Amino acid sequence: MKNTLTILLIASSLVWAGCSNFLDTQDLTEKTNATFPITVTDYDQAIAAVYAAQRDAYFDQINSFIGISSYLDDDNIANGRALFDDPMIRGFERYQVRNFDQLLAPWQNYYKAIYRANFVLESLNKNNSTLTDAQKASYRGQALYLRASSYFDLCRLFGGVPLKTSTESNNPPRASVDSCFALIASDLKKSIEALPAKSFQNINKANELFNANKYAAEAMMGRVFLFYTGVYGKPELPLMEGGTVSKANTLDYLHDVINTSGYGLIDDFRNLWLYSLANTDYKFAKDNNLNWIGERGGNNECIYLISFSGLGTNNQWDRFQNSVSTSVPGITPFGAGSGMSAVNPKVYDEWDSADLRKAGSIWNVKDATTEGIEFSSTPAPNSGKFYFNSQSNVEETGYLQKKYCHIYVNVGGKRTAANTVLNGTATKNNTNDATVGQYIMRFSDVLLMAAELGSPNAQTYFDRVRSRAYQKNAGNTPIAGKPFYKPATLANIQEERRHEFAFEGIRWYDLLRWRIVDQQIAQYKTDVPVYKFGVQEKITIRYRPETKGLLPIPQSQINLSNGVLKQNEGWGGNEGIYSGI
């Protein structure tokens, strides 16, 4: 359902109009809640429009959720060019922005998703639908999950935000953090109760594969619980209707995912990523017998994913993938993009090379033995070699993340975009070469969250993740006595999460909830060696604790609210503006 292009057909009828009235919307077609939705086909379109709005919050080159989250953490160095929009991401890296309306697009996209979710929920309360009770429960559960996850992203970016639980036009102030998380937790709890306990093996792979399900909601409850209790120092999650979600409740949810969902770990971590498709002409993939798991129903590790398609229009493709790809053209398998993200060399240097995830996540541009890609000390465009872009790039490190790079393969002797290979249609430009979805929840995260929360099986869950990382298996081979065995302490779980989820937009929020942002940024972003216009120098990034890890609410929305909205701390003056290149 979420994958079909019909999601765009009703977008105009549920469109966000943030430039006219604060948190307001307007109908632009004849479809209204009086006549739509009624049939199953109508509801398929309505819920697909919510997924489409969520996707819009993840696709952007500058303002995708994963991109923003990654630029803030200690694993990434912003890189990019001294032109175009790239200084915006170097602003994020310095806990600054180029202007106070820089985050308008994600703000609007999330409220668009929330409005559409509210539209679905209100429609389900009407008496003129032709749905069965089971169908109503499915649409309700999905809409609640999508509303909860949209508010969760908003709260992680901005703190307390205005709460909208209906399509009514009004001008609410920012709600308290407690109220926001009470709504998030209540929506997830209701979603869990509404959605059927359908295992991965029983999902209809044709139209349910990437839809929100009971297990995605249970897993997300774990992430929400850990973030809220960690950042705000509370023992439990509040609920809107009263009561709480306790640590024990959260563990029950995570145990249910682990024990009954049918999800698990795939054998080789590296097969999660598209570069493994290039297993005939990419030396690393060929040498390691890699084979991409794909998105057609074989990936039981993927609990929730936001899917994209290079075949579509209107943001169906993934500009975020373009933003993190190398700026050097002509390399196989890594296609060119904007080069906006490099890997912190300090992270690479201390990462155990025996861990398969290291080379599986990071491209060392000078390691031709592993990669099969030569390094050139001088510019060599379209030579198949990597070189430092001395004409424009600002913070190159010699390390790039592999997980979300554009991928090209050789077909009949011609370098061809993976999108063309997978979908049979040639792309028009490299921004449309992005074909794969973005992981939001993987099974390994559920294992590590349960371990962190003190499950009686914490060591077993922790071992499963490390077993796969070192021994290339689904995590079922015991590792006691192995040189890479570690006890499941909090410190070791923190390190394991860093390596398992590097560059997936998770680490920044882990740092916040563990309350170690200051020390980590000071340790890993002091005197970082980079190449600026091809010349090596060192940079130091300083965290601004006065922001409390939050970003500025778009100034235009504050203006539209007539001052009802108040700006976050640390964003009231020039200290929040990045004026560098």
CATH of the domain at 28: 1.25.40.390
252 and 278 housed in the same domain: no
203 and 284 housed in the same domain: no
For residue 76, which of 295, 283, 313, 347 has the smallest C-alpha distance?
Answer: 347
pLDDT at 27: 53
Give CA 242 to chain center in angstroms: 31
pLDDT at 299: 97
Domain-located, residue 208? yes
For residue 341, which of 356, 368, 363, 360 has the smallest C-alpha distance?
Answer: 363
465 touches 499 (CB < 8 A): no
215 torsion bin: left (phi>0), alpha (psi -120 to 50), beta (else): alpha
For residue 307, which of 205, 215, 218, 400 has the smallest C-alpha distance?
Answer: 205
Domain-located, residue 215? yes
Helix (H/G/I), strand (E/B), else coil: 396: strand
Block mean pLDDT (10 aa), the chain, length 581? 37 36 49 84 96 92 92 95 86 96 96 98 88 96 98 98 96 98 98 97 92 98 99 98 97 98 98 96 97 94 88 64 90 91 97 98 98 95 92 93 93 87 67 77 98 98 98 93 97 98 98 98 98 94 97 97 96 92 88
pLDDT at 170: 94
Last residue of a domain, one of 436, 456, 476: 436
pTM listed for this prediction: 0.94
User: What are the residues whose beta carbons fall under 8 Å from the beta carbon of 344, sequence distance 6 or more?
Assistant: 74, 75, 76, 77, 397, 399, 524, 525, 528
Domain-located, residue 531? no
Q: Long-range contacts made by residues 153-156, C-beta under 8 angstroms, separation at least 24?
A: 153/57, 153/65, 153/106, 153/110, 154/107, 154/110, 154/180, 155/180, 155/181, 155/184, 156/69, 156/227, 156/509
pLDDT at 428: 55
Q: Which two tokens stand for residue 275?
A: 């570069």
219 and 249 housed in the same domain: yes
Last residue of a domain, one of 260, 290, 319: 260
pLDDT at 426: 62
> Hey, how many other C-beta atoms are within 10 angstroms of the C-beta on 249?
16
DSSP-derived secondary structure for 447-479: HHHHHHTT-TTHHHHHHHHHHHHHH-SSS-S--
For residue 104, which of 165, 40, 151, 57 has the smallest C-alpha distance?
Answer: 57
User: What are the residues whose beta carbons fall under 8 Å from the beta carbon of 31, sequence distance 6 or more?
Assistant: 10, 13
pLDDT at 310: 59
25 and 153 housed in the same domain: yes
pLDDT at 75: 98
Domain-located, residue 449? no
284 and 429 housed in the same domain: yes
Domain-located, residue 563? no
292 touches 273 (CB < 8 A): yes
Domain-located, residue 154? yes
pLDDT at 6: 33
For residue 343, which of 79, 61, 72, 65 has the smallest C-alpha distance?
Answer: 79
273 and 256 housed in the same domain: no
CA distance 356 to 368: 17
Q: Which two tokens stand for residue 107?
A: 């703000």
247 and 355 housed in the same domain: no
DSSP-derived secondary structure for 276-297: GG-TTT-HHHHHTT-----SSS
For residue 567, which of 149, 98, 101 has the smallest C-alpha distance?
Answer: 101
Looking at the structure of the chain, the number of domains it has is 2
User: What are the residues whose beta carbons fall under 8 Å from the beta carbon of 296, sequence distance 6 or more?
Assistant: 205
Last residue of a domain, one of 204, 233, 260: 260
Q: Which two tokens stand for residue 396?
A: 């190159």
> Hey, how many other C-beta atoms are within 10 angstroms of the C-beta on 157?
25
For residue 104, which of 118, 128, 88, 116 has the smallest C-alpha distance?
Answer: 88
339 and 425 housed in the same domain: yes
The conformation of residue 62, written as its DSSP 8-state character, comes to T
Domain-located, residue 451? no
228 and 165 housed in the same domain: yes
In the chain the first and final C-alpha atoms are separated, in Å, by: 43
76-77/237-238 β-pairing: unpaired
246 and 290 housed in the same domain: no
pLDDT at 434: 65
Domain residues for the domain of 248 are 5-63+103-260
Domain-located, residue 90? no
324 and 394 housed in the same domain: yes
Q: Which two tokens stand for residue 397?
A: 């490190």
CA distance 346 to 24: 46
pLDDT at 433: 61
* Amino acid (one-letter) located at 308: F
19 and 110 housed in the same domain: yes
